[in-house]
Chain A
Amino acid sequence: MKFYGKGIPGCDVNKLAGKLIVIEGADGSGRSTQIRLLTNWLEGSGHATVNVGLKRSNLVSAELEQAMQGNILSPVTLSLFYATDFADQMENTIIPALRAGFIVLADRYIYTLMVRDIVRGANPNWLKNIYENLALVPDAVFYLDVSPRFLIERNFQKKNQLDYWESGMDIRLSRDVFESFIKYQRKIKTEFSNLHDQYDFEMINGNRTQRTIAADLQKKIELLLQKAK
């Protein structure tokens, strides 16, 4: 495997036997369901699996969560806090697991982190420079592409409300959370399409049933695992 950029100092990537698979997509796009189904399927067929995601590091996740509750972080600070969280998981979870031959399923990756900040006005080159040195190039990236209307439905089914951050309420696109969600998710999607050319995502039609999507993903991952043999 290799890093996008120069990489993390002191990290040998030549001995990484596992596979890194990333599932990307908006809030309510069905990522966590798919990751659960994939984990069952992979473990059922004898593959050791590890799940990672954003804001899950030992180092800063609690502090980051606390800061977000208060909505008191400025944009650059928030970006860097997330980068710290990502780096910690990269070094302490993802790389050790890959070294041990695990399949790492990542619920979002640097793309979401960059896109969210770009939508909030951050300098794309600054972000690229930060993250490309931290991130391994995954073996596959699947983007669950779901229309904003459908996303709303899923969010209401799941939590009966729209999340403040996932609706982009902090950037004041509208005072109305419903309208803000739609506008925000459109912006996110546009930025994702821009990244698509740079980072080789596979687009997955996420408007289908969970089962259909799961079967689709399994087929693709099976091919990937066969190729590795």
Chain B
Amino acid sequence: MVKIQKHNAPGRLIAVEGLDGSGKSTQIYLLKRWLELEQYKVFFTEWNSSLLVKAATKKGKKRQLLTPTTFSLIHCTDFADRYERQIWPLLRAGYIVLADRYFFTAFARDTVRGCDPEWVKNNYSFASVPDITLYFKLNPNTAINRILEGRPELKYHEAGMDLNLSTDPYESFRIFQGRINDAYDNMAKEFNFTIIDATAPVDQQQQTVRELVNERFDLPSFKLKK
């Protein structure tokens, strides 16, 4: 079994994970605002955002050229670009790095798509596990309803249409998200997720998150020197 190492750099890495609609992006944004306003060295990165790889990913998705295997590899490439050029150097420079989704997103999605879990884990094993992984947990139906409420136009892969679960994108999305949710639950223990109740009020969740960060890190050591 592949074991993913923990870094020993002076920086700290916080990742948020959870279903679409769990509110994790809001929470990490508020965490970032707090750390910035307190003048800590902080850097934020989000899933699937490497400029270099984006063109290829976009084309692959649009033309539906991707199989579960290439879907997995192209996202891994995107992650590697961000990891090698930003996340890892910044951890070494003593930053608090905030990641909106981390490799757990890939572990969940790719295995739901049928990739071998150990293979996916190995592919990402160049990266460190986070110091804190916040898992915003809620009943999948609640998350799904939050997303579907506005009847958004769901993208092909977002709805898991490539899995042939249903010809109706909304139904497909429901089934797909249900499976992703199970995959997250299965990882929670192995990777020591900190579970946050994503149905609690936003400010209350944020307070829990800030307290946890304050407790686990020696925050004054991350102050920007002026």
Contact = CB atoms under 8 A, between A and B. Distances in A.
Interface of A: 5-6, 8-10, 58-60, 62-64, 67, 72-77, 79-81, 83-84, 87-88, 91-92, 123, 126, 129-130, 133-134
Contacts of A58: 65
Contacts of A129: 2, 119, 122-123
B70 A77 contact: no
Nearest to B68: A9
The SS class assigned to the B binding surface is: helix
The 4 closest A-B pairs by CB, nearest first: A74-B84, A9-B114, A80-B77, A84-B73
Contacts, number: 90
Contacts of B66: 59
B115 A84 contact: no
The SS class assigned to the A binding surface is: helix
Given A73-B52, A77-B77, A9 B123 contact: no
B73 A9 contact: no
A63 B57 CA distance: 10
B65 A130 contact: no
A79 B83 CA distance: 14
B155 interface: no
A132 to B, nearest CB: 9
Given A59-B70, A60-B56, A6 B119 contact: yes
B83 A63 contact: no
Given A60-B60, A76-B83, 11 more contacts: A9-B115, A60-B56, A72-B52, A73-B52, A73-B81, A75-B84, A77-B81, A80-B80, A88-B65, A129-B123, A130-B119
